[in-house]
A and B are shown apart, each in its own frame.
Chain A
Amino acid sequence: MTDVRVAGVGLTRFGSHADRAGRDLFATAAERAFADAGVPREDVEELNYGNFMGALAEHQGHQAPLMAEAAGVRCPATRYESACASAGVAVREAVRTVAAGDADVVLAGGMERMTNLPTAEVTEGLAMAADDLFEVRSGVTFPGAYALMATAYFEAHGGSRRDLAHVASKNHENALPNEYAQFRREVSVDEAMDAPPVAEPLHLYDACPITDGASALVIVSAEYAAEHDVDAPVAVTGTGQGTDRMALGDREHLARTPAADDAAAAAYAAAGVGPDDVDVAEVHDCFTIAEVLALESLGLFEVGEGISAAREGITTADGDLPVNLSGGLKAKGHPVGATGGSQIAELTRLLRGDHPNSEHVPDADVGVAHNAGGTVASAVVHVLEVAE
């Protein structure tokens, strides 16, 4: 496999961008990624763009050519849709394209506009990631689906709402210094416990917010970086993807995410590393329970033990294995189709040492990013390593 590097990363601030069209958000992220990379736009050979609900939110289909224009690139452009893993699969295809030697420079990322819709319509829109006939018509919402997983987890392994509140509190604390984060304020465990219920056992602070935002990455071959004197010290050494049955009820496990197990196994194998080598992780915590399930699928914790990781301080900023130092989807925000790219942007900066939270992982060499779609019917895992 050709040595694949992250040459540059760009994000918009995550939050509400009420007066900006999606194309302008992606243009901003792309502009920042090009500036960070020092790679000229005209060298881009493909655009891989993630977006989930643009047809609903902006009445805009066929977004890839629009985003190519916005980013100022003229090349084959494709929109990828895998619900909340849309940008993850877009980045994965960029990595595979460069690894295969089909291109030296690919722009990858995504964008989502969500805050212009009323909350009820966002709820309806996100539910589109579930099976319409057998789940949505039966009353399954997006928080409701993860609530079903949380109840099943507690039943199988124990754990409590308080354990989940520790995940929320940790990720809010991590977001404090992150200039891109939607919520830069502390939420105590007690505050999370006292918040109103959304879908029990999940309450308000167990859920990620509704977010506008965009992410962009300039993915290049190491050969291109060397030839063009581009500083790209972080390599994508492994990528993996998994798929499971669409409806949660059709899965073998109601409290496990085998698609992420498969994605992790493939990514680790490609990188030649294992869970014990991981120094830092960005995982898909759309709900607090999702972080727990991710930790277990990534092999960072045994099945049934991920629930106590935050409470015991293992995954906090000062713990042995910091998780979601960006603030995660939980506090940094979750512009659905941009999230997978933003995770890799955050992880790249953490490994390069120029992230506001890099001080917590000064010697980190190996990072893992976990991006999930729906109730993890889709999952993408990437392994990033410091190459230079």
Chain B
Amino acid sequence: MTDDDASGEAAASTPTPITDVDYEEWLDAIDAGEGYALVCPDGHGSLPPRRVCPECGSSALSRDPLAETGRVETFSVVHVPSPRFADDAPYVTAIVDLGPVRTTGVLRGLDLESDEPEVGLSVDVGVENRATDGEPLVVFRPTDGA
């Protein structure tokens, strides 16, 4: 059996989600509390993988740390999920300003019956797992004491 045969067999039995080493590294960094964005000399922030700044085309990208706490810019309580989130619903999806970039993730730690999310809420960012299938997920939680 050649290597090609082996990989072909694996692909047939379990579809492999498209991924990217730079994206995985970014997700691991968030998980470790060392999240970053790619920033060009003009200050445009973006998320990996990037060869150039999507705003200005600059290839001089450096890693700047994300803010320690972020601000919820907008959110929605999702009741009808995609299959990958079937067991997660209802959940809150949110876009959070983390300094050089905004990031989209799931906002956890609120009791939706009594705790309405709101724009402006201060949150921390981390990586947790989807309830549905255990895949890693960008998760925001209200900042302690907020």
Q: Show the binding face of A for B, using Cβ within 8 Å.
A: 119-121, 123-124, 127, 132-141, 143-144, 147-152, 155, 196-202, 245, 247-250, 254-255
Which of these, A124, A134, A135, A197, contacts B83 with CB under 8 Å? A124
User: Contacts of A141 on B, CB cut-off 8 Å?
Assistant: 78, 80-82, 85, 93
* Docked-complex contact B78 and A254, CB < 8 angstroms: no
* Docked-complex contact A199 and B79, CB < 8 angstroms: yes
Least distance between B140 CB and chain A CB atoms (Å):
10
Within 8 Å of chain A (Cβ to Cβ): is B102? Answer: yes
Pairs A–B under 8 Å by Cβ, sample size 6: A120-B81, A134-B104, A136-B84, A138-B105, A141-B82, A248-B104
User: Contacts of B104 on A, CB cut-off 8 Å?
Assistant: 134-135, 138, 140, 247-249
Which of these, A121, A123, A134, contacts B103 with CB under 8 Å? A134
Binds A, one of B6-14, B57-65, B68-76: B68-76
User: Contacts of A199 on B, CB cut-off 8 Å?
Assistant: 76-80, 93
Which of these, B46, B84, B138, contacts A124 with CB under 8 Å? B84
Nearest 8 pairs between A and B by C-beta? A147-B76, A152-B74, A249-B102, A200-B77, A249-B95, A151-B74, A138-B104, A124-B82
* Docked-complex contact B23 and A144, CB < 8 angstroms: no
Give the interface size class of chain B: 35 or more
* Docked-complex contact B137 and A137, CB < 8 angstroms: yes
Least distance between B73 CB and chain A CB atoms (Å):
6
* Docked-complex contact A250 and B77, CB < 8 angstroms: no
Query: Given A133-B20, A148-B93, A199-B76, are A245 and B54 also a contact pair (CB < 8 Å)?
Result: yes
User: Contacts of B88 on A, CB cut-off 8 Å?
Assistant: 139
User: Contacts of B46 on A, CB cut-off 8 Å?
Assistant: 250
Least distance between A341 CB and chain B CB atoms (Å):
28
* Docked-complex contact A143 and B80, CB < 8 angstroms: yes
Using CB atoms, name the residue of chain B closest to A149: B74
Least distance between B108 CB and chain A CB atoms (Å):
11
* Docked-complex contact A144 and B93, CB < 8 angstroms: yes
Least distance between B134 CB and chain A CB atoms (Å):
13
Please report the C-alpha to C-alpha distance between residue A270 and residue B84 in the assembled complex, in whole angstroms. Answer: 44
Query: Given A133-B23, A139-B85, A254-B95, are A201 and B101 also a contact pair (CB < 8 Å)?
Result: no
Which of these, A133, A139, A150, A247, contacts B93 with CB under 8 Å? A139
Please report the C-alpha to C-alpha distance between residue A149 and residue B91 in the assembled complex, in whole angstroms. Answer: 17
